[in-house]
Structure 1
Amino acid sequence: MFVITCMPVGGAETLLVALIRGMDRSRFEPELCCLKYLGPLGETLAAEIPAFTGLLAHKYDFAVLGRLTRLMRQRRIDAVVTVGTGGDKMFWGRLAGWLAGVPVICSALHSTGLPDHVEWPNRLLAPITDAFIAVARSHGQYLVDGEGCPAGKVRVVPNGVDTERFRPRAADPALRQELGIPPGAPLAGTVAALRPEKNHPLFLAAAQRTLERRPDAHFLIVGDGPQRGAIEALRRELGLADVVHMAGTRHDIPALLALMDVFVLTSHMEANPVSILEALACERPVVATAVGSVPETVIDGKTGCLVKPGDAQAIADRLTELFGDRAKAAALGSAGRRHVIEHWSLKRMIAGYEELLEEIHQAKTSLARHAASLPR
């Protein structure tokens, strides 16, 4: 059973959908528990697998423990995986699993710092946790150094993307027209929830500086979130309303990536962003801030360009360079797709979860059988 607070459209939630859909049904029967409400992606999964919700009424609803424990017993759950860093799902999911006698208890973490972190109540549950799942090698080290997870319990299962869905394709002129982007205009875009840690103001600042040398350039922001109003206001303040297009939440990401000449990610912090993997799989060159595990996927000068966090001028310089050197942009994109296929495919991610859960389950159930066979 995967336990999460809710499932809006986001990177971790999209990965969870792909993971659940891809698990071998001859070996696993995945179920979903959204403690508060399903959300858009939860509703999608509820049509495919057993899904439960409405167990947590508010932050201090301690009765959730009894409800969740009973649910796990009734469903005869063999493994619990809480999804997300810290918070109610990580705490109540693991504690309920332990009380229900679930053999395998894991936490999949997807963040590297505020606003998400592993609070002290969640750290206290480390002894009953079998594995803390990191999304990249450097993220695993961060969980030890920054979040206090026991080193011996940190396991790395790299994020992955569907390289068949995310593949090179011809740009759709009708889609370009729909978004208001002129034919032939160089286009840089980003796909990210409109949250503070994604640092869209830096994207806008880089756009403004790029226009000084490429006045024909346009920019695309795909995603939605709590910062939308502030980003729209800044876009107007900087005089970018006509060249920065805000597409909101979309479900045609591969087609949108095909429009972009360069993909950009300007985050303050990241673990292993799925959006970069998707862009690379589509052979889009990437310009990104060197934060979190990003340097493991964006290899500077090979699959894309890295810049220091907060450096708008460096981003603008790289965009201007790649807009003007299509051969280099194509070479970076091609190398990026090869890198993703080799190291960051969805198939590898699903296999990683399956092998980890089976390994822990086999070890713990074997130990329990051995203990039961000892003379009393």
Structure 2
Amino acid sequence: MKILHIISSGGMYGAEAVILNMSRTLNENSHSSILGVFSNSANPNLQLHEVATAQGIESHLISCAGQIDRTVPSSIRELVARANADVVHAHGYKADIYCYFALRGSSLPLVSTCHTWYDNDLTVSLYGAADRFILRNYGAVVAVSEDVRHRLLKAGVRKEKIHIVRNGIDLRPFDNAAPSLREISSPDNAPIVGLIGRLATEKGVDIFLRAAARVLADLPATKFVVIGEGPDREQLELLIDELQTRNNVFMLGRRDDMPSVYASLDIMVSASRHEGLPMAILEGMASGRPVIATAVGAVPDVIVDGHTGVLVPSENVEALAAKIVTLLNNAAQRENLGAAAKRLIEEEFSAERMTTDYLHIYEQAIAAKKQQASAHSISSAISQGKTK
């Protein structure tokens, strides 16, 4: 089967990791996964395209200028024909909208994955409203959590079209990775607490930084790292200066050695205000790290408080800081949480399991499209017979 993934990518984040994990697994199992990545000349965002190409995954750039580019649908149709795709799989509201207008009325099944649900930004909210209307016309819509499924139902997507597929990861890179950040903890082997994610409001990086300041009042040797890039970087840097934590907090940007980064952490934190099923949490758990996370989206489906991680309320600086201090003071608890987390990921969140689930959805979407075409042919034949 040939699957064409279409995405507007802002960097290497959760959806991109899902696509790469699925593509590698598909290609290793006699299928073909091809990427179409939107590229704006003013802000090309080529990271996904470059990483995919380096990993031997076929990837093509689709020129997309500005908020609306009327040439994109025809570019998608050309790529579909060139790839000889059996299924087109859209990721994100921009891909959903363009793929719909490119392929409506065609015999090709459309599948979309709703990786998360953001409605706090006006522009995103407007696109999201259009997206949710358009998704009603897709052959299948995948939600990464029960929370996202519920929101899709409220938006009017029919129940029988919605499938839940939990994100999966390639476990191999996380086995026995060597730590790469220990120079930060030298010379006293200070503990490192890290947050991995896009530097944007929904990720709660500001909450993490404020919690770090509280922790440092009790455990002043602790080091904190933030991995990722995004639109809020400048104001987050200002917040670090305001909190006077510059000597202990490090903004490390994007990293290409993530398994080694996770291996360096004593605790991983997710402070998100909104989430689907964060890949960073799954990767941290696969690395055997104890994770403290806000109880939002599908996070409680993965983290059982006190067993596979620790849950805290969203936007609660005091609660987050208190849990960090508790875990830093209890090495045995950190080890137990990390081991239980790793077992869970190995058993339930592999890339192989995720890819198998998607293949079933693709097969169903193809069969439904063929049935629809057959019914249309019969209806047309009957209509022609009546007119003779």
Q: Which amino acid in the other structure matches residue 261 of structure 1?
A: D
Q: Name whichever of 33-42 and 340-349 sits farther off.
A: 33-42
Q: Alpha carbons of 1:263 and 1:123: their partners in 2 closer, same or farther (altered >3 Å)?
A: closer
Residues 134 and 156 in structure 1, CA contact (< 8 A), matched pair in contact too: yes
Look up the SS of the partner of 2:261 in the other structure: helix
Q: Which amino acid in the other structure matches residue 33 of structure 1?
A: G
How far did residue 296 of structure 1 move?
A: 0.9
Q: Alpha carbons of 1:358 and 1:38: their partners in 2 closer, same or farther (altered >3 Å)?
A: farther
Residues 268 and 292 in structure 2, CA contact (< 8 A), matched pair in contact too: yes
Q: Alpha carbons of 1:12 and 1:239: their partners in 2 closer, same or farther (altered >3 Å)?
A: same
CA distance in 1, matches of 2:260, 2:195: 13
Look up the SS of the partner of 2:104 in the other structure: helix
TM-score normalised by L of structure 2: 0.88
Q: How many residues align?
A: 369
Q: Which residue of 2 aligns with 1:69?
A: 77
Q: Which residue of 1 aligns with 2:6?
A: 3
Residues 211 and 317 in structure 2, CA contact (< 8 A), matched pair in contact too: yes
Q: Could you list the per-position Cα deviations for residues 155-208 of structure 1 after superposition, in whole angstroms to 9, with x for gaps in the alignment?
A: 111101122212355645xx411x465432122111111111111111111111
Q: Which residue of 1 aligns with 2:34?
A: 31
Residues 166 and 254 in structure 1, CA contact (< 8 A), matched pair in contact too: yes
CA distance in 1, matches of 2:228, 2:23: 23
Q: Which residue of 2 aligns with 1:139?
A: 148
Q: Which residue of 1 aligns with 2:86?
A: 78
Structure 2 residue 321 is the aligned partner of structure 1 residue 316: yes
1:73-112 equivalences under 5 Å are 73-84=81-92, 86=93, 88-99=94-105, 101-112=106-117
Structure 1 unmatched runs, 5+ = none
Structure 2 unmatched runs, 5+ = 383-388
Q: Which residue of 1 aligns with 2:385?
A: none
Q: Which residue of 2 aligns with 1:328?
A: 333
How far did residue 365 of structure 1 move?
A: 2.4
Residues 96 and 135 in structure 2, CA contact (< 8 A), matched pair in contact too: no
Structure 2 residue 22 is the aligned partner of structure 1 residue 14: no
Structure 2 residue 61 is the aligned partner of structure 1 residue 53: yes
Q: Which amino acid in the other structure matches residue 266 of structure 2?
A: D
Q: Which residue of 2 aligns with 1:273?
A: 278
Q: Alpha carbons of 1:40 and 1:214: their partners in 2 closer, same or farther (altered >3 Å)?
A: same
How far did residue 153 of structure 1 move?
A: 1.2
Residues 111 and 140 in structure 2, CA contact (< 8 A), matched pair in contact too: yes
Look up the SS of the partner of 2:246 in the other structure: coil
CA distance in 2, matches of 1:9, 1:290: 24
Q: Alpha carbons of 1:360 and 1:327: their partners in 2 closer, same or farther (altered >3 Å)?
A: same
Q: Which residue of 2 aligns with 1:40?
A: 47
Residues 7 and 34 in structure 1, CA contact (< 8 A), matched pair in contact too: no
Q: Alpha carbons of 1:299 and 1:52: their partners in 2 closer, same or farther (altered >3 Å)?
A: same
Residues 274 and 297 in structure 2, CA contact (< 8 A), matched pair in contact too: yes
CA distance in 2, matches of 1:345, 1:224: 26
Look up the SS of the partner of 2:170 in the other structure: coil
Q: Alpha carbons of 1:126 and 1:360: their partners in 2 closer, same or farther (altered >3 Å)?
A: same
How far did residue 307 of structure 1 move?
A: 0.8
Residues 38 and 53 in structure 1, CA contact (< 8 A), matched pair in contact too: no
Q: Alpha carbons of 1:336 and 1:25: their partners in 2 closer, same or farther (altered >3 Å)?
A: closer
Q: Alpha carbons of 1:353 and 1:183: their partners in 2 closer, same or farther (altered >3 Å)?
A: farther
CA distance in 2, matches of 1:141, 1:182: 50
Q: Which amino acid in the other structure matches residue 196 of structure 1?
A: T
Residues 80 and 97 in structure 1, CA contact (< 8 A), matched pair in contact too: no
Q: Alpha carbons of 1:363 and 1:335: their partners in 2 closer, same or farther (altered >3 Å)?
A: same
Q: Which amino acid in the other structure matches residue 204 of structure 1?
A: L
Q: Which amino acid in the other structure matches residue 97 of structure 1?
A: L
How far did residue 77 of structure 1 move?
A: 2.5
1:1-376 equivalences under 5 Å are 1-6=4-9, 8-24=11-27, 27-36=30-39, 37=44, 39-46=46-53, 48-84=56-92, 86=93, 88-99=94-105, 101-114=106-119, 115=121, 116-117=124-125, 119-145=128-154, 147-167=155-175, 169=177, 171=179, 175-177=181-183, 179=184, 181-366=186-371, 368-369=373-374, 372=377
CA distance in 2, matches of 1:141, 1:256: 34
CA distance in 1, matches of 2:86, 2:273: 38
Q: Which amino acid in the other structure matches residue 219 of structure 2?
A: R
Residues 307 and 315 in structure 1, CA contact (< 8 A), matched pair in contact too: yes
